[in-house]
Amino acid sequence: MQPSTIAAGALRAARRTHLVFAVKTLIAALLAWAAAGLCVPADPPYLAVATALLMVNASTVYQSVTRSAQSVLARLAGLMLALVAVRLLGPTAAAVAVIVVVPTLAGPRRTADDRMQVASIAVVGLAAAATEPVGGLMSSVLQTLVGAVVGVTVHALVLPPLYVEESDSAVRSLARTMGTLLRDMGTGLRHRRLATESHVWLHRARKLDECLSRAEEQVRQAEESLRWNTRCAAHAHRGGSADSVAFKALRGISLQVRGIARTLVDDVFDGRAGSRLGRRFLDRYAEILQWAGAAVLEFVEPTPQHGPVGITPRERLRGAIEGALAWHESMTGLVRGGGLAEPGAWHVYGSLMTDVERILADLDHAHWRSERLARRAGR
């Protein structure tokens, strides 16, 4: 697929998303205005509308529910604080001081934002508490409650957002970046480019942290978007859970990839006699890196992308693991028998082989878990 086609598709998707949010925002505003007018006819329903707009534009249904609960509780706490302060001290500077100090010192479990929200609401509610001690409080709380209920309801029932596709894309991009790096290292070793490209490989391995952060945020958002979502039935097993399993495996694999790149760089600049990796080892290690790279690339693909038709990614993955273990045994025998010219580098051999074996073992375990999730989804 051409980059221009991908960009055009992303633009159309963004426009659809904005249109959906615009429609939901309008529906929530009109419903909140009407509902608040029925519940609190004496006051203009501006607060209910503002609260509904805040809830309906939350990124996920779960976030809108938790945010609405926090908003209602914070408003109730702030207005009650204002009522107590004005009853004891009157609408004076002393009441304002109490309103600012009490939320700041009370409740160490509350975050700074929560405390400041309570204090701000209390200051704003001071005037209402001074003129209408009970009526002003009840009107504000009821409007907030009505707006929160309307906003959450509209958000949950009118095309609630899902971020499964974004999560899938982020995890696949991470796997492609990681698998390509492993294959490039294997190709570089095969073509005798260790000395010239090892630093590039290490730099790319360190840059994986940025890809990991982006993918982790997308997976987290996808998992959250599935909670309390009326559209999640068709996506619960295809998206969040599978992506979470894949991401955890790739996060562990990234450590091994960085370890391999670091070991290869160290070998280039190790000047001790007999400690450098042998050409025979590097040629064979190039093969296993390419196997591992292909396994990572196929791990998150919905259909086989490499290898003969009819062989599943799991079968190729098992073949790579078995080949790696067999090669490890043969190389160990060569080192013990003196078959390699650089026996002083055995600790380096062990480090490189351990890293690649862990990559394949992690992939095997994660693939097994993904298959279990898929079978559960099909029941």
- Look-up: residue for tokens 């070991």? 263
> What tokens were used for 4?
């221009």
Q: What is the pLDDT along the chain (379 residues), one digit of tens a residue?
A: 444 444 444 556 567 778 888 899 999 999 999 999 888 887 788 888 988 998 898 888 888 888 888 878 887 777 777 777 777 777 777 877 877 777 777 655 555 566 666 777 776 666 666 666 555 667 777 888 899 999 999 998 988 888 888 898 899 999 999 999 999 999 999 999 998 999 999 999 999 999 999 999 999 999 888 888 877 754 444 444 678 888 999 999 999 999 999 999 988 876 554 456 777 778 888 888 988 888 888 777 655 444 555 566 667 666 766 776 677 677 667 666 666 545 566 677 778 888 988 888 888 888 777 666 666 655 4
How many CB atoms neighbour CB 5 within 10 A?
Answer: 9
pLDDT of res. 75: 77
- DSSP line for 98-121: HHHHHHHHS-TTS-HHHHHHHHHH
Q: Which residues of 344-379 are buried (b: 16+ CB within 10 A; e: fewer)?
A: ebeebbebbbebbbebbbbbbebbebbeebeeeeee
pLDDT of res. 29: 93
pLDDT of res. 336: 66
Rounded-to-integer distance, Cα 121 and Cα 119, Å: 6
pLDDT of res. 88: 79
pLDDT of res. 329: 73
> ∠ at Cα 173 (170, 179), nearest 5°?
140
pLDDT of res. 237: 42
pLDDT of res. 31: 94
- Look-up: residue for tokens 């693991």? 321
Contact criterion met (CB below 8 Å) for 289 and 186 = yes
Contacts 24+ apart (CB under 8 A), 232-235: 232/162, 235/162, 235/164
| 164-378 CATH | 1.20.58
H helical segments located in 40-60: 46-56
Domain ranges of the chain: 12-157, 164-378
pLDDT of res. 176: 93
Angle (deg, nearest 10), helices 164-190 and 208-225: 160
Continuous segment of H or E residues that includes residue 79: helix 61-89
Give me the sign of the Cα torsion angle 65, 70, 73, 75. Answer: negative
pLDDT of res. 133: 57
Contact criterion met (CB below 8 Å) for 358 and 256 = yes
pLDDT of res. 109: 52
Q: pTM value?
A: 0.75
Rounded-to-integer distance, Cα 284 and Cα 189, Å: 9
The Cβ-side half-sphere exposure at 297, using a 13 Å CA radius, reads 18
How many CB atoms neighbour CB 197 within 10 A?
Answer: 18
H helical segments located in 106-207: 112-131, 135-157, 164-190, 194-206
Rounded-to-integer distance, Cα 145 and Cα 65, Å: 12
Contact criterion met (CB below 8 Å) for 293 and 205 = no
